[in-house]
Structure 1
């Protein structure tokens, strides 16, 4: 294969000549360039193949020193025309060429600058503006790719494992699982609901067998989540022993809404009695006993320590600083502030109880000129979960 003047190998082209008959004008020959790379036919004068983009004009660029590589290939119409006019064909082929004069018949079959038969509606090339049909991949003038080629397939990325929470919240994965469940038979779609209901029934049966109230247990869990507490009612208040109540005071005042009365008992720091239920901790001899009609689990105590703020005797008495609460063989120590405001003290008995025994274990000091060695409580409310 010869090389052209541009340093590129010359690609042979196959030229197809076909006559086109016009009314009253005889026959005019047209030339089509056949690409030797892909075998597709291109209009005459195309610089690049319209289908593979191979350059077709190497022989035209080096006509000065290279022989033409275009060959006339008679088409079916040419053969038929020659068979019908044998004399004219032989005379044309046998006529000697005059030296120094161009071959008029040879030049008439090759247009000097063929005009491609493109419609005006064809999109132009973005690089040179040449109109090209939408079915072509390359421009016939400059060879620019008109349609993007298929991207080179990249190697698939390694799958990164997802954590369970990423898989749970991934909307694409959840949508895929939902579509998969919908494609299953009804029994498979409802099996999760059936299993859930079966587990609930099994829990209720188990609670019933061990002597628990399933409804009460469920309600208690619901109120525990919401943190709902209500004042226990009714509650009985009594002094223990009854003679320990100071004169002029009533234990029933601890459960009343009025704040002008209270319960009080004698307080003598040198005459405190140890409590066996509280590991021998000292406390005042007078205590308050709270009784409940139905067993309940105490969750909190609302306490107003000392006399009311409006009472002139408040600074003259000892104000409680520690309460010792005894229930079901246990003892809990509750600290209090030196304030007349209502104090919310957390107390969880853990189990339902029928009574509480409250004693004063320590007090804040009174004034030096105090003439009343007493300690008092204005109110004492018990709170529990709703029934």
Structure 2
């Protein structure tokens, strides 16, 4: 016994007894009705043209074909015509929910599988078109933060979405951010800090901006260890002058801060300042005959102490290049200082490395962050 019926339209198999295909809605009962579907018929046309699902004995008989003989006239009757039968109101079908995973047809009450598109009894459409999500406001689909800049359509949709929001919602983030910044500035001001200066200092740190320290003076200590004497040659703007000492060729290379017997220059200024850079013009100028006959500084030791402090001095060794051009050396004292003690700790070889000779520094510029 056949338990399934194959649809002649889509080829899908349907449960036995189905009057309409549960996949495409094509009428399947033409073999009982004695006809065939018209080509190109839609499910609605097939539903209207198909016979009802009532039992065969209750269906009206098909009219007999017309005969070739003319019909005889009906004898006159004096009886009044019988009244037309009164149409009975359609019976209301009670819809009962089916088992889980099924759906009840809202037209005839037949229980169909939830995946069916058409009712197997009356062909009623069970699955309608997908609801439209288009509205006056553009839809917005959330994305990850790293995907926000990759799709121009997504950025345009976000802009349209923000514009569609009320003004208060659009500006609340800006308002909250400004309120937090103002509160932070007020808090730092109450605590005695300088928030504006801190922000400027961080900006200068990022850009590496420095300016010369004003009012720098120099006093040189000779190799004999005597008291420092004024010596402006290392801080003046004249490239023809220089601070010169005698380098003892046979002296061992000292540790940082221990070579002061070779000569030291002390730079001083007024307000305590955190030093960030030194600019050094090492040796005599190019073109001077004496440059090729002297030692040229290779490293210098820089000693400093926090302003007002009495502890040991910090010492940093800075490396120079063998060039007469100005060299910028990074030096961060990390604390505010008022002076630097600078001495030459090693030199490049001269034509007479076994003999003592002069070593010169034309200029030293102390630099710090802008105030």
Note the 1:154-193 alignment, pairs <5 A.
163-166=144-147, 186-193=167-174
Q: What's the counterpart of residue 342 of structure 1?
A: 326
Indicate how the Cα distance of structure 1 residues 219 and 355 shifts in structure 2: closer, same or farther if over 3 A, else same: same
Does 1:48 find its partner at 2:32?
no
Q: What's the counterpart of residue 376 of structure 1?
A: 360
Deviation per residue, 1:142-183 (Å, 9 max, x gap): xxxxxxxx9999xxxxxxx96542257665665666556556
Q: What's the counterpart of residue 218 of structure 1?
A: 199
For 2:40 and 2:353, how far apart are their aligned partners in 1?
Answer: 120
Higher relative contact order (CA 8 A, sep 6+): 2
SS of residue paired to 1:256 = coil
List runs of 5+ in structure 2 lacking aligned partners. Answer: 1-7, 9-25, 31-36, 47-61, 74-126, 131-141, 306-312
Offset of residue 269 of structure 1: 4.2
For 2:292 and 2:354, how far apart are their aligned partners in 1?
Answer: 8
Offset of residue 377 of structure 1: 0.2
Aligned residue among 317, 322, 332 for 2:294: 317
Does 1:307 find its partner at 2:284?
yes
SS of residue paired to 2:329 = strand
Does 1:237 find its partner at 2:218?
yes
Offset of residue 72 of structure 1: 5.8
Offset of residue 324 of structure 1: 0.5
Q: What's the counterpart of residue 182 of structure 2?
A: 201
- The answer to which of 183-192 and 332-341 deviates more is 183-192
Q: What's the counterpart of residue 21 of structure 1?
A: none
CA contact (8 A) 1:230 1:386 kept: yes
Q: What's the counterpart of residue 294 of structure 1?
A: 271
Cα RMSD of the aligned pairs, angstroms, is 4.5
Instruction: Choose 1 or 2 for highest CA Rg.
Output: 1
CA contact (8 A) 1:268 1:284 kept: no
Aligned residue among 315, 337, 349 for 1:353: 337
SS of residue paired to 2:209 = coil
TM-score, scaled relative to structure 2: 0.55
CA contact (8 A) 2:218 2:265 kept: yes
CA contact (8 A) 2:248 2:356 kept: no
Aligned residue among 316, 320, 342 for 1:332: 316
Indicate how the Cα distance of structure 1 residues 250 and 170 shifts in structure 2: closer, same or farther if over 3 A, else same: same
CA contact (8 A) 1:272 1:283 kept: no
SS of residue paired to 2:323 = coil
SS of residue paired to 1:192 = helix
The count of corresponding residues between Structure 1 and Structure 2 is 254
Offset of residue 380 of structure 1: 1.2
Offset of residue 316 of structure 1: 2.1
SS of residue paired to 1:348 = coil
Deviation per residue, 1:286-322 (Å, 9 max, x gap): 1111122333222221112111122211222221111
For 1:272 and 1:266, how far apart are their aligned partners in 2?
Answer: 15
CA contact (8 A) 1:244 1:265 kept: no
Offset of residue 365 of structure 1: 2.1
SS of residue paired to 1:194 = helix
Q: What's the counterpart of residue 252 of structure 1?
A: 232
TM-score, scaled relative to structure 1: 0.53
